[in-house]
Amino acid sequence: MVVKPRSEPRLTDMNYYSRIRRSLCRLALAAVVIVPTSGALAKDSSALDMARQLNRAFIELADAVSPSVVVVSVVQKPPSRLWRMGEEGDGRDGTEGLPDELRKQFERWFEGRRPRAQERAEEDDEPNWNGQGSGVLVREDGYVVTNYHVVEGAEKVRVRLKDGREFDAEVKGKDHKSDLAVLQLKGELTGLKAAKFADSEKVRVGEFAIAIGAPFELDYSVTFGHVSAKGRSRIIRSPIADQDFIQTDANINPGNSGGPLVNIDGEVIGINAMIRGMSTGIGFAIPANLVRQVSDGIIENGRFARPWLGIEMSGISENPDYRAMAKRGVKGVVVASIVPEGPASKSDLKIGDIITSIDGKAIQTSQELKNEIRSKRVGTPINLDVIRQKKTLVVKVKTEEWPEESMPVSNRKPTPVDASESELGITVKSLTKELAAEFEVEERDGVIVTSVDPGSIAARRNLLSKGDVITEVNQEKVTSPKEFKEAMKNVSLKEGVMLTVVSKDQVARLRVLKDRSE
């Protein structure tokens, strides 16, 4: 969200009009190519008629959608927080993904104008409305959805409609993981028009995308482009971010935050949230289906209860040790770790399992799994189709609510190893109380690695260290050196073997030891 004082001269959104002119010129050129004679061109050609229809469509769309779009003004606490919506710490990066040099430019611009805004506030005895964004009416009884970072730290919130009416608003609830918040308008609520939401699963790459909002305090600016991509994940580098984004080349700027991205039918396909640099044609919107899930939960219960499984994972194609399976056509998600006391830890799910579907719906990527789990209600039992050691089975897991604080991941790491302890290059012993104290690990069932031979497979790949506790071999429990050696007899380095290992850091992840010397 970007702060702009009201005294700043308003600018003309030339970008929008120039793009319209370019589009019309291209269509007009098409008309010249299609029509063979100037006499025919004097009459209305089909190409020109098509251009006029497209022109009318955008005009009618803006007229129809704008009454559902609102301008959100806030009195923010410390103004410095406006520049914090980030990729660090809590996942907020207040300048909507702007590059460092542009971030500094906006900070200098803001600091230079803040004293004047404060002076005007003292003179007028009016609150210092030092932040602005956009929002969308989602219900006719006065509920508005916007970005969490638009109202983060807000002491007062005011909402203005297209017809000029203004309402005080309160934050009904927020969900910082998705960067969404819901506002509730106060006062006499009549004649409000709620936006229509599309099914974002059905959005197609290449279709028209129109953004409406208040960039740089230029209220109700309309820009258009296309859906550039779907399913963009890893946009926010934060472990709490669990959703993907719709990418668009519609011109989005600071101040568009919380406003709608709509299709040609005037249906909201996403809520604009971030940009990748200025004037790059790369913007990101939160998909409409997630917006509805979160906003409905907040409106009904004051908060969004987000379900989870309590696992870390990777797609088969993303995991180098499973690419051979991917080439054979196996699709799914590898369970890389399990959170202690999380939902999955209370089920039969194991590290190294490959989840191929949830309640019969096939999944191929980690993001697809997250999206599918998020669509379930907390406490719902779900069926996971799993591949384990080339066998297919069904594992039942009961979802729980995502805890506010991140939980440590379970101390188990699967790792493919060689057919014998000596070939692997490690020495293991029973985990006694004395060894647990010596290596500063918790007592548990398993064997402890007391040495790793230099130059061995375990040492070369840095996947096993002294003090690691091996609890499973190929997803079968081992509780003594004898059981470990027996389990290792039927495995080979060529195929690899999974070891579930508990490290000192109490984190369990999938590791694969495999002889790649060939």
Q: Which residues are catalytic?
A: 149, 179, 257
Whole-angstrom Cα distance, residue 448 to residue 443? 10
**Residue type at 244 in one-letter notation:** D
The helix/strand/coil state of 295 is helix
| Greatest pairwise CA separation for the chain in angstroms | 99
Reference 152, options 99, 71, 92, 212; nearest CA is 92
Q: Mapped to the 3 state alphabet, what secondary structure does 434-485 carry?
A: HHHHHHCCCCCCCEEEEEECCCCHHHHCCCCCCCCEEEEECCEECCCHHHHH
Whole-angstrom Cα distance, residue 79 to residue 61? 36
Q: Which element (helix H / strand E) includes 382?
A: strand 381-388
Reference 268, options 517, 68, 497; nearest CA is 68
Whole-angstrom Cα distance, residue 201 to residue 188? 36
CA 89 from centre of chain: 16
DSSP at 377 = P
Task: Say if CB 274 and CB 96 are below 8 A apart.
Answer: yes
**Residue type at 119 in one-letter notation:** E
Whole-angstrom Cα distance, residue 263 to residue 256? 16
**Residue type at 393 in one-letter notation:** L
Whole-angstrom Cα distance, residue 252 to residue 1? 12
